[in-house]
Structure 1
Amino acid sequence: YNLIFERFLNPERVSMPDFDVDFCYVRREEVIKYLVGKYGFDHIAQIVTFGTLAARAAVRDVGRTLGMSYSAVDAVAKRIPQKHGVTLKSALSSSSELSELYGSDEEVKKLIDIAERVEGMPRHASTHAAGVVITRETVDSYVPLAKSDDAMVTQYTMTALEELGLLKIDLLGLRTLTVISDAEKEIKKKHPDFDIKTIDPEDKAVYELISSGKTDGLFQLESAGMKSVLTRLKPQSLEDIIAVISLYRPGPMDSIGKYIENRHSKKPVSYPIPLLEPILKVTYGCLVYQEQVMQVFRDLAGYSFGRADIVRRAMAKKKHDVMEKERETFIEGCGKNGIERSVSNALFDDMTSFASYAFNKSHAAAYALVAYRTAFLKCHYPAEFMASLMSNTIGDAPKYINVSQRDFSVKDGQVVFGLLAIKNLGQNTIEAILKERREKGKFTDFVDFCRRLYGRELNKKGLESLIKSGALDKLAFSRASMLAAYEGLLGTLAGDSKSNIEGQMNLFGTEDGTEEYYKMPVIPELSQPELLAMEKETTGIYISGHPALKFDKFKSKWRIADISDAAADGFDGKRVNLLGIIGSVKKKLTKSGEQMANLILEDTTGSMECLVFPRTFAENQKNVIEGTVAVVSGRISQREERQSQIICESIVPAEKYDNTIAAQRAGAQGSQNGRNAPYS
């Protein structure tokens, strides 16, 4: 793939290279232990990082120190816009509500004035998520250390360590590598010889999957914008994936169209300088990689790779003095290869503008390989891949107490959800459940489950989550009955335990049936919306259904589009009606002080961000409620740099949509006979 080692390290390089290495995230600690074993515990240290007081945090901390009530401080903090880098000064100028409070309330004025003085100051020290430093002599020979948990941590930040010339390595935990590893282990149960490292890199079925845009769950390839690019490009090789990963970023994104056009053109690509063809042929005449800039300097102007990399970095950092000096050297070197001054000068300008966002091909190649491996697994081993993906990325999902394992697994070609995904359920509880099931068989009903697990890490909170998630639905009783009974049942079990400790024999402390042990109440099951809300609360997703399914029969009548369809390429600017449940509502103030909102609408096919601008928000505010099933109408906005959005024009609860439409139709027609006009 024409990767250049000198891009990483060369004799002419002055500064230390960047070591950013991705590992399976669950084994990152093993890597640190390996380094300690290889270089010595006193030659390795993790790196400190300082959290600073942002605007909201400064207000809350100062308010607490001043003894102000939580509600008073919260009212001020919530009026500070939730934007990256916002300061109290900018918040006062952009938020009319905050400015009004500041001018009218002496206590608030004092709070903000003091908060401004501490804003940006270090608040706490923590350990850098990835960085470690390795030294020739013991670390304390170079920097002061502090102890954090069981690790030694430098008291100097990453920037200071680099200035001292010390070697810093970022050991990054990449969840996708864990997904691949876990899927491979599952596949090996049926195919012992399977090895992800030896798969065919030119598998046509895999490239067909990628080209179809069905890339949910695939590393680096699953955003809506990327799907659009993939369906247009139709990748046929790893080189195509490397290129698209490099181009799909702010800056080079404008070159995607040219790359795709040249890729599919029947006409050969023309090159202004023949020497550029072997360098740019792989990217169809487009300058894509940092390595290509280095090759241009070497092959056209006679630079060494080391010097070429120095110039490339000067271009990227816009060091104009260095660049102007190198311009003449470059033009002179090109002249020796018969390249006219005007042509080489224009090429230098092109590289200068490109260098600031050019991508490292070695990095892109590694990511492309990981992306291809996820695509191969999804194509040929979908059950194993999805089980691993859900175990490692969803984090919360449905399960069944007599079948589920600790993690997501595969049984009879079906994904079985993992117990570890349930909120409030710890590792020890899960191990106790699995051990009990292995040793004494499946649980027969709810009382049997509680009796066998009582005193073995199962607490009220964990049991309640198991019930609400639906994990115990097959244990003979309704969730309503189990929720009504579990505290009393645990109390009975606690009483038995105390009696046994005191040497008393409980009348029912035998192997009698569970019905004789504890009489469960028989309560009608909760409503479907209530059950779904519980599942969402404890698992993060809906399991036994979806709130929007209730209105499926109206989709045709209401002209509802699926979110997955509306997010597809070609919907930009189109007006659609979407039906789903409102989630993750974030209200914020515009620069003019008006209120707007961002929300997520979710149906059974996917989710989409909805932008509710001030005028629409004012008209629909009472309907912007998290958990409401609503019909959102508006126009789709698609940009290559982000996923599809809908610009909202109206938000109507689904329960009221028929009446709303009827009223609108009746109003439009004058409603002369008092009858609602049908929706069509």
Structure 2
Amino acid sequence: MYLNVHSQYSLRYGTMSIPELIGKALDLGITQMVLTDINNSTGVMEFMRACDAKGIKPIGGIEFRRNKKLLYIGIARNKEGMKELNDFLTLHNLSQTKLPDIAPAMQHAYLVYPFGYSGALKDNEYLGIRFDELSQLYHRDLKAIKDKLLVLQPVFVADKLGYRLHEYLRGIDLNTLLTMVGPEDKCKDTDSFLPQGELERRFDKYAFILDNTRNLMNTCVMDYQKGKVKRNRQTFTGNRDEDKELLYQLAMKGLTERYGKDHKIALKRVKEELRVIDELNFCAYFLITWDIISYSMKKGYYHVGRGSGANSTVAYCLRITDVDPIELNLYFERFLNEQRTSAPDFDIDYSWDEREDVQRYIFERYGKAHTALLGTMSTFKDRSVIREIGKVMGLPKSEIDSFTDRTKEVENKNNPTFKKIMAAYALMEDRPNQRSIHAGGVLISEEPITYYTALDLPPKGMPTVQWDMYEAEKIGFDKYDILSQRGIGHIKEAVRLVEENLQRKVDVHQVGELMKDPTLNARLHSGNTIGCFYIESPAMRQLLTKLGCDNYLTLVAASSIIRPGVAQSGMMKAYIQSYHDPENVKYLHPVMKEMLEDTFGVMVYQEDVIKVCIHYAGMDGTDADILRRGMSGKYRSSVEFDRLIEKFFEGAKALGRAEETTREVWRQVSSFAGYSFSKAHSASFAVESYQSLYLKTYFPREFMVAVLNNYGGFYSRWLYVHELKKAGAEVQLPCVNSSKQVVSIQGITAHLGLIGIQGLESKFIELIPEERKRNGEYRSLEDLIRRTGMGLEQVIILIRVGALRFTGRSKKELLWDVHMLLGKKNKPLNDTELFKVEAKHYKLPELINTRLEDAYHELELLGFPLSLSMFDLLKTGYRGDVYSSELISHVGKTVKMVGHYVCEKTVRTKNNKKMWFGTFIDAEGNFFDTTHFPDSTPVYPFRGTGCYLILGKVVEDFGFPGVEVIRFAKLPIADNPVMS
């Protein structure tokens, strides 16, 4: 009788998860019900699976609302009916039009209007009446509507506690106080499953309404194919046999290009992979990915194929990936095997400004009815939820701030208000909050995708399904990951700049040659890698130096052991020690030596963990696959891990392994959970790192400009400007007659772009260089204003940042001029003038700007000074007793240093105390690193950007020097002369 049931996917309204709904229904003996979440069908497929598993008949539907008003409820008679409802909602979501008062005609779905609807009802349309509305039927002639009345008992909450949660959700959704949530804003406290027999008792005087409802629900059958079904597009050519033949031809052609004509090992491997791909019906998946890559390559887009897909030699031959699996001994089974329970996918990276065109191609090539972006579901979590709860409770900001301050956890523990907030938080935590868009997943379906979901139109502007990647996999979709990353943008832009600025053609795809270049490997060894993809962070630069990394294979390992799980387990340190002393490696067991000799007995990759579980503990391929999934933070489950631990120890015991050894092996295995990379993933990253390294080494100025123009990387913008200057560039402040929107370089002169000026409106960032290109350079301040229509505030920003220095007038003179021109006008006139009349000029006393004033202007408007360094701004001339280059000769000594803050990293010790790692540059422009232990450090040592005086002990780890901080203080800078 329940044809209006809501789950927590009725966002910020419904309170029960689908398992909770079904559990309640089972307890009450309910045999069928309709899931009708508000304006979405997110949970319908999950609902059907869960109901089928518990013996309840599922029926899909959608409740359509406009603002707070219930318009009508759609109930699917079958699969086609679900598509009709999804299509209707999709139409309005994508066109961004309001839902109509009256639903369109539908052939396979019922529509239920709330009681009181006065329009004519079609054959498939009904009126829903609540038990508290039955009094309105007294003394009324029901002949005309008798067959149209249905029981309407909405379900939103489970009990009183659920109703309180509902009220909090409504307050958060409406951004109002709990006391201001009115009856029209929320459900009734009776909107729940009623005790068994209660609903029938309330309608006992109108048994025909119960019969109507039961009969309608009995006609509904969600006739979806059950079990594990592949929903992706099934063929590329339209025929499976033709797909198989085309994939074979492409693979053989690529085999010759990649390996030559007589590579027997590659030929054998490709044929074996093709057999598995065909048997598992993955030919179309490979061909569609190849098609996407082919399109992007024809457009001149650079891509990186990474992830477990790089384990496939076929993918390498199709140029989906650029990592040679044979060279790296990567096994295909990690990507695709007969026992694999999860859908594999290719991760294809593009530059941020090219990905959207690739996505557009996919939509056009495979049809909008069959293509959609993957969604995500964000949940209520973290301290932000405490803030939201505090707001709806009406607490003052200061009190809310104290509740979200981790340093006040102890004193808040017994606060009754805080306890109340945490009780609400416990109810709300991890429940869905809002739908969003996946980082890059694309679905291409065989049937129209609206059989399975309605579509949203997020800011991205492309149709997006209403569920996430986990649900997509359970339904039977294999996603295509079309991602973007800044590193590719750096490479692409740098190549273009080299061609423009130096008139040289650059090929970064001959990676094999790059890996043999001793100059590149020497730079890698030195850790001088700022701006280079994945190898520029302080931790990575330290690791490269400690390893003395000077080759591709070591870099592949470094890309994996840098991950937190490896470092926390102590295996990173063990790897470095063994790398430098391979003769003295002690293996836990002969199997460990057999499996891990290449990595000195240390599990570095996901593949290593799987090999150990199979060969040391006798686990089968299925368990190894579950373990791999358990290791990736995406699928972690304590139930899975508990089961695997038991199997691991039982299997090891059966093989006669020593219990103590097994415990240590498992410790190393489990420490990887959620952090490790696949070897193929690391190898893909290392390829891109070499390409970045090549450009940084041989074209450092163009490369650093490319980094700046692609939103930087690990560090703040000022550091990349610093690196650009170190590379020999003459870096100039923005100028309206020289600067483009972004940083530009000509010869060795680089002009900062207008886009970096804080407060300058985007329309002027675009207009200034465009107008200059059309009509020539600006001749004066007046000319700039006349041609761009800029107002007083915007011109002042340009003057203060030095962008009008071409006039030859000082900033103070220009500020006087602009106030004379615009000071009394609300907005400058930009009309065409019959005659150009020059503005009057007044003789002023000499107005001079100091370099200190300029530096303060730059700090404010660029975020960093260019005219002076931060060291030049210090009140003291002291620069430390020791510079970075001298640290290695002072190991064990206490030194004083002055450093310009670059970045920091916070970690927690085994005792759960905070400690920090800092990175600085000294007055010579070189990096050094600091460690701040809890016992010698205040609650929070850093005080933002600037220079610090550091007293500490010099330590050394595998040839890398650092400073263990004893005392630490930020140094004052010279007063702003304008403010003094």
Q: TM-score if structure 2 supplies the norm length?
A: 0.53
For 2:366, the equivalent position in structure 1 comes to 39
Supply the AA of the counterpart residue of 1:186.
Answer: L
Residue 470 (structure 1) aligned with residue 470 (structure 2): no
Residues 118-137 of structure 1 mapped to structure 2, 5 A cutoff: 122-137=432-447
Deviation at 1:495, TM superposition (A): 7.5
Given candidates 261, 282, 289, the residue that maps to 2:605 is 289
Q: After superposition, give the CA deviation of every residue in 1:311-348 in whole Å (9 maximum; x if it has no partner).
A: 6557886645456557777898xx8xxxxx44899589
Supply the AA of the counterpart residue of 1:452.
Answer: R
For 1:152, the equivalent position in structure 2 comes to 463
For 1:510, the equivalent position in structure 2 comes to 836
d(CA) in 2 for partners of 1:226, 1:403: 37
For 1:168, the equivalent position in structure 2 comes to 479
Supply the AA of the counterpart residue of 1:555.
Answer: Y
Deviation at 1:582, TM superposition (A): 7.5
For 2:778, the equivalent position in structure 1 comes to 443
d(CA) in 2 for partners of 1:300, 1:612: 39
Residue 579 (structure 1) aligned with residue 901 (structure 2): no
Deviation at 1:240, TM superposition (A): 0.9
Supply the AA of the counterpart residue of 1:579.
Answer: V
Q: Contact between 2:928 and 2:962, CA under 8 Å: does it hold in 1?
A: no
Q: Percent of counterpart pairs with the same letter?
A: 25
For 1:531, the equivalent position in structure 2 comes to 854
Residues 304-323 of structure 1 mapped to structure 2, 5 A cutoff: 309=625, 319=641, 321-322=643-644
Residue 497 (structure 1) aligned with residue 811 (structure 2): no
Residue 385 (structure 1) aligned with residue 696 (structure 2): no
For 1:452, the equivalent position in structure 2 comes to 787
Q: Contact between 1:390 and 1:408, CA under 8 Å: does it hold in 2?
A: yes
Q: Contact between 2:441 and 2:480, CA under 8 Å: does it hold in 1?
A: yes
Q: Residues 290 and 474 from structure 1, CA distance in 2 versus in 1: closer, same or farther, beyond 3 angstroms?
A: same
Q: Residues 175 and 265 from structure 1, CA distance in 2 versus in 1: closer, same or farther, beyond 3 angstroms?
A: same
Q: Residues 13 and 112 from structure 1, CA distance in 2 versus in 1: closer, same or farther, beyond 3 angstroms?
A: closer
Given candidates 235, 239, 246, the residue that maps to 2:549 is 235
For 1:198, the equivalent position in structure 2 comes to 510
Q: Residues 465 and 4 from structure 1, CA distance in 2 versus in 1: closer, same or farther, beyond 3 angstroms?
A: farther
Residues 66-105 of structure 1 mapped to structure 2, 5 A cutoff: 73-81=396-404, 93-94=409-410, 96=411, 102=415
For 1:434, the equivalent position in structure 2 comes to 769
Q: After superposition, give the CA deviation of every residue in 1:98-155 in whole Å (9 maximum; x if it has no partner).
A: 569x57xx8x998888778766665544333434433332222112333334332323
Given candidates 139, 147, 150, the residue that maps to 2:449 is 139
Aligned residues: 608
Q: Residues 241 and 62 from structure 1, CA distance in 2 versus in 1: closer, same or farther, beyond 3 angstroms?
A: closer
For 2:690, the equivalent position in structure 1 comes to 372
d(CA) in 2 for partners of 1:25, 1:532: 33
Residues 269-284 of structure 1 mapped to structure 2, 5 A cutoff: 280-284=596-600
Supply the AA of the counterpart residue of 1:381.
Answer: F
d(CA) in 2 for partners of 1:583, 1:213: 16
Residue 21 (structure 1) aligned with residue 348 (structure 2): yes
d(CA) in 1 for partners of 2:532, 2:367: 39
Deviation at 1:14, TM superposition (A): 1.8
d(CA) in 1 for partners of 2:504, 2:919: 43
Q: Contact between 2:901 and 2:920, CA under 8 Å: does it hold in 1?
A: yes
Q: Contact between 1:433 and 1:453, CA under 8 Å: does it hold in 2?
A: yes
For 1:668, the equivalent position in structure 2 comes to none
Q: After superposition, give the CA deviation of every residue in 1:56-79 in whole Å (9 maximum; x if it has no partner).
A: 5445545655666xxxx2212332
Q: TM-score if structure 1 supplies the norm length?
A: 0.73
Supply the AA of the counterpart residue of 1:470.
Answer: G
Comparing 343-352 and 541-550, the one that deviates more: 343-352
Q: Contact between 1:532 and 1:547, CA under 8 Å: does it hold in 2?
A: no
Q: Residues 554 and 421 from structure 1, CA distance in 2 versus in 1: closer, same or farther, beyond 3 angstroms?
A: closer
d(CA) in 2 for partners of 1:115, 1:300: 44
Deviation at 1:40, TM superposition (A): 1.7
Aligned to 1:78, the other structure's residue is in SS state helix
d(CA) in 1 for partners of 2:652, 2:427: 51
Q: Contact between 1:315 and 1:352, CA under 8 Å: does it hold in 2?
A: no
For 1:407, the equivalent position in structure 2 comes to 742
Supply the AA of the counterpart residue of 2:527.
Answer: G
Comparing 40-49 and 598-607, the one that deviates more: 598-607
d(CA) in 2 for partners of 1:21, 1:147: 23
Q: Contact between 1:613 and 1:648, CA under 8 Å: does it hold in 2?
A: no
Q: Contact between 2:954 and 2:962, CA under 8 Å: does it hold in 1?
A: yes
d(CA) in 1 for partners of 2:901, 2:587: 52
Q: Residues 60 and 192 from structure 1, CA distance in 2 versus in 1: closer, same or farther, beyond 3 angstroms?
A: same
d(CA) in 1 for partners of 2:329, 2:678: 12
Q: Contact between 1:595 and 1:614, CA under 8 Å: does it hold in 2?
A: no
Deviation at 1:222, TM superposition (A): 2.0
Relative contact order, higher structure (CA 8 A, sep 6+): 1
Aligned to 1:510, the other structure's residue is in SS state coil
Residues 543-582 of structure 1 mapped to structure 2, 5 A cutoff: 543-551=866-874, 554-555=877-878, 559-562=880-883, 575-579=894-898
Aligned to 2:896, the other structure's residue is in SS state strand
d(CA) in 2 for partners of 1:295, 1:595: 36
Compare CA radii of gyration and give the structure with the larger one.
Answer: 2
Aligned to 1:21, the other structure's residue is in SS state strand
Q: Contact between 2:538 and 2:919, CA under 8 Å: does it hold in 1?
A: no
d(CA) in 1 for partners of 2:467, 2:961: 39
d(CA) in 2 for partners of 1:649, 1:311: 46
Residue 186 (structure 1) aligned with residue 497 (structure 2): yes
Q: Residues 258 and 67 from structure 1, CA distance in 2 versus in 1: closer, same or farther, beyond 3 angstroms?
A: closer
Q: After superposition, give the CA deviation of every residue in 1:493-533 in whole Å (9 maximum; x if it has no partner).
A: 878738x58xx96xxx4264xxx445586663455444323
Instruction: Quote the RMSD (CA, aligned, Å).
Output: 4.9
Q: Contact between 1:132 and 1:168, CA under 8 Å: does it hold in 2?
A: yes
Deviation at 1:181, TM superposition (A): 0.5
Runs of at least 5 residues in structure 1 that lack an aligned partner in the other structure: 84-90, 336-340, 657-680
Q: Contact between 1:241 and 1:368, CA under 8 Å: does it hold in 2?
A: yes
Given candidates 812, 818, 821, the residue that maps to 1:480 is 812
d(CA) in 1 for partners of 2:508, 2:631: 39
Aligned to 1:405, the other structure's residue is in SS state coil
For 2:668, the equivalent position in structure 1 comes to 353
For 2:339, the equivalent position in structure 1 comes to 12
d(CA) in 1 for partners of 2:707, 2:814: 31
Deviation at 1:539, TM superposition (A): 1.7
Aligned to 2:436, the other structure's residue is in SS state strand
Supply the AA of the counterpart residue of 1:384.
Answer: E
Aligned to 1:251, the other structure's residue is in SS state helix
Aligned to 2:482, the other structure's residue is in SS state strand
Aligned to 1:143, the other structure's residue is in SS state coil
Residues 235-254 of structure 1 mapped to structure 2, 5 A cutoff: 235-253=549-567, 254=570
Q: After superposition, give the CA deviation of every residue in 1:432-485 in whole Å (9 maximum; x if it has no partner).
A: 32233334433344333333322xxx4445433333333333432223333454
Q: Contact between 1:28 and 1:172, CA under 8 Å: does it hold in 2?
A: yes
d(CA) in 1 for partners of 2:944, 2:931: 13
d(CA) in 2 for partners of 1:617, 1:213: 31
d(CA) in 1 for partners of 2:858, 2:480: 42
d(CA) in 1 for partners of 2:964, 2:386: 34
Given candidates 512, 526, 533, the residue that maps to 1:219 is 533
Q: Residues 77 and 169 from structure 1, CA distance in 2 versus in 1: closer, same or farther, beyond 3 angstroms?
A: farther
Q: Residues 405 and 92 from structure 1, CA distance in 2 versus in 1: closer, same or farther, beyond 3 angstroms?
A: closer
Q: Residues 575 and 391 from structure 1, CA distance in 2 versus in 1: closer, same or farther, beyond 3 angstroms?
A: farther
Comparing 522-531 and 219-228, the one that deviates more: 522-531
Q: After superposition, give the CA deviation of every residue in 1:374-406 in whole Å (9 maximum; x if it has no partner).
A: 111111111111111121234677433322233
d(CA) in 2 for partners of 1:23, 1:51: 25
Q: After superposition, give the CA deviation of every residue in 1:140-190 in whole Å (9 maximum; x if it has no partner).
A: 211233333433232323433333333234433210110001001112234
